[in-house]
Amino acid sequence: MKKNPKYFFFLTAGLVAATLTLITGCASTDSYSPWADYSSPWNNEATGEVAAVPAANAGAKGLGYYAPSNEGAIIPSDEPLSNDTLSVPAQSAAGQVFDPSLRPLTPGLTQPVSRNVATLVPPADMWDRIRRGFKMPDLDNDLVHQREQWFESHPDYLQRIADRSNRYIFYIVEELERRNMPTELALLPFVESAFNPQAVSSARAAGMWQFIPSTGRAYNLKQNIFRDDRRDVIASTNAALDYLQRLYDMFDDWQLALAAYNYGEAGVSRAIARNQSAGLPAAYSDLSLPTETQMYVPKLQALKNIVADQARFGVELPLTPNHPYFDTVTIKHDMDVSLVAQLAGVGLEDFRALNPAARKPVLLAADNPQILLPWDNAAVFQRNLQEADAQGSPSASWTARVLPRTMTVAEAARSMDMSEAELRAVNQIPPRMKIRAGSTLIIRRSLAARGDVSAAVAGGATLSLQPEMAARHMALRARRNESVAHIARRYRLKADQVAQWNRVGVNHVFRRGAVIDLYPPKRIDYADAERGERAGRSPVRTRGAVRQASANELASAGRSRRSLRHTRRARQSTANEYAYVESSRPSHAGRISGARPLR
């Protein structure tokens, strides 16, 4: 390749000129050298002064000098320096020029000049980190003050919930910061579930973020016999933040978004429309909302105020380190829950606290291969798992099987080579119930069947039951303060049966209007229902009972057949007032839903 001699000439000339400029600039005090003037004052402990820019360079900008302002803050200046500001040059013994009006930057003189400047000091703990991310407008009313007083008078409650949140709050705050969402939302599980992932409400909302089944399915939270992702720490948190962001995009107000999370977006939209049509303000505090929703945002605001200033309320929250509590580990084969806890060196209670979605004693790799373990125990688990795999030890003692036909529990237990009590216990089958065809059962793994459960079985696992004896499925709506015991006494049933049919506790009190399922062994007599109605209790009538009663009344009055048909049509509305389902199986999917907000 031919080389151009002009290229070498200009390169050599440039290097010579740069060298001469550097040498003459360092040796002369009359010509300006920013490096000499900038570096010398910091090493001059005697004067502590900053060299000023000579008059020859008075028009320069952005030289990096800082002058003390009237307020004492150090403000950078990009304006051209005039000859008037470069007065009284002072020389040191080395011949350097200083301006006594300029001082070096010192920690005592520097102050933040903008709220947008990020601090370099890391948060002391998670509460400090949460405080730094507060973005929601404050709410100040009597309801907030009432909740503040309640929390202030119950410090032990706050301590328990804060200790429980220690496992989950780092991940929640990380997600909020990644999405640029207010960190006040990290306190929302305090209000929803007291940071209990196993919490279940009367409306069957479950998990830390309290998703009802339908909303959980809308946000891709799996719900089968093996797992309930409404309780999963990571899945439910991501779904809740997605839902909250969607509500904020809908209302453009975080307080209204929170109200919609509790009451439902349709209910909040109706309340806003009512106020707007009446010419009234439509802010959160101006809306007519249910009592629970009116208290919802004030509870969160009270918690925010306590976290922001613990000393003011005399509360000291436990120290929560600003680092991850758990790590994610992937399993490649089905594993018993007890074996995972043993290999990780954690207790079963601690393991279930981090993996509350697991509902059975076995974890299926095809269903969800990710598990959560304490940060330090994750490495221990992986090391011990490698050693166990090298020895060929079995990892699971349970498997799943789909029932080919409807069976009693005793028949299914004999076919699975298990005891009836064990099959009932591990699959949570109530007494006097049959297992319908297509149901998936957890059974002991035999030596012949050592393979993992397939993804098709794990993903679509359901358990459908029906009464062993012919029974009528009846549904009724609960009155105020009706409990399981009240319903059982009224219809001559056992309290544990009523509780099992409705998946609640024996001491549960139903919400007014909630649907109660009953499977009595015989049809309830219409006269009993009439007596219950006269006594002020909620009646249950089957369609046949209502028709028979109408026919008896009309026959006794001696009315004609034509009048009977006319009156039957008129009395059809009476039958529609009562909930009835003439089905021989306890189908929970077809229940009449109560007036519960979609959450």
- Alpha-carbon separation of residue 63 from 49, 77, 92 (angstroms): 16, 8, 22
Residue in this structure with the two tokens 């209302």, named with its chain if needed:
251
SS3 of the chain: helix, strand, coil, percent, to 5: 45, 10, 45
Opening angle at CA 571, ends 568 and 573, nearest 5: 135
Question: 394 is written with which tokens?
Answer: 């079995």
Question: 26 is written with which tokens?
Answer: 């360092």
Q: Give phi and psi for 535, each to the nearest 5.
A: -80, 5
How many angstroms separate the CA atoms of 179 and 241, rounded?
9
- Pick from 479, 472, 481: nearest CA to 518: 472
Catalytic status, residue 420: no
Residue 516 burial by Cβ neighbours in a 10 Å radius (0-12, 13-18, 19+): buried
Beta carbons of 326 and 167 less than 8 angstroms apart:
yes
- Residue 546 CB-half CA count within 13 A: 19
Beta carbons of 253 and 284 less than 8 angstroms apart:
yes
Question: 66 is written with which tokens?
Answer: 């800082």
What residues contact 582, with CB distance under 8 A and at least 6 apart?
Answer: 472, 473, 542, 543
What residues contact 328, with CB distance under 8 A and at least 6 apart?
Answer: 234, 370, 371, 372, 378
Per-residue burial over 315-344, b = 16 or more CB atoms within 10 Å of its CB, e = otherwise? bebeebeeeebbbebebebbbbbebbbbbb
Residue 347 burial by Cβ neighbours in a 10 Å radius (0-12, 13-18, 19+): exposed
Which residue of the set 49, 192, 265, 482 is catalytic? 192
So which residues are the catalytic ones? 192
